Amino acid sequence: MKLLLFLIVSFFVEANEDFITKDEYASQLYNNPRGISCALCHNENGTAKLIAKYTHEEESRRFETPQINNLSYEKFHKALNNRIRGMPRYFLTDSEIKLLYYYLQQRSKKI
């Protein structure tokens, strides 16, 4: 009986080490969702980023992403379910979108 108890307890202790925290999971999701990091175009914290500068018909243009860490959840969620020019379409689940939103909220609190 003692042995059985020991085995059960050690199983849970071992298994527990494999779990990642919500913050770790959120960070992994932001930095590698479907293989293309949000941080590439939205920085570590979801601040605005200049992607490219170019000249079109002798006019200098800037292609920048907007700040995404200050949006309402509704706007954030809607944006991720729509086609956005210049952004890959991820087909994220609602819980993934919630976690990404949570991640950006946490990050912007730390600045």
CB of 57: closest distance to ligand HEC in angstroms?
Answer: 20
- Minimum CB separation of residue 78 from ligand HEC in Å reads 8
Residue 104 CB neighbours (<10 A)? 24
- The strand pairing partners of 86, in sequence order, are none
Nearer to ligand HEC, 76 or 107 (CB): 76
Q: Tell me, what amino acid is at 37?
A: S
Judged by beta carbon, residue 25 or residue 71, the one nearer ligand HEC is: 71
**Both tokens assigned to 51:** 């992607």
β-bridge pairing 59-65 and 49-56: antiparallel
Positions 40 through 99 that interact with ligand HEC (CB under 6 A) = 40-42, 65-66, 68, 71, 76, 79-80, 84-88, 90
Residue 14 burial class via C-beta count within 10 angstroms: exposed 0-12, middle 13-18, buried 19 and up = exposed
Per CB under 6 A, residues contacting ligand HEC are 33, 36, 38, 40-42, 65-66, 68, 71, 76, 79-80, 84-88, 90, 100
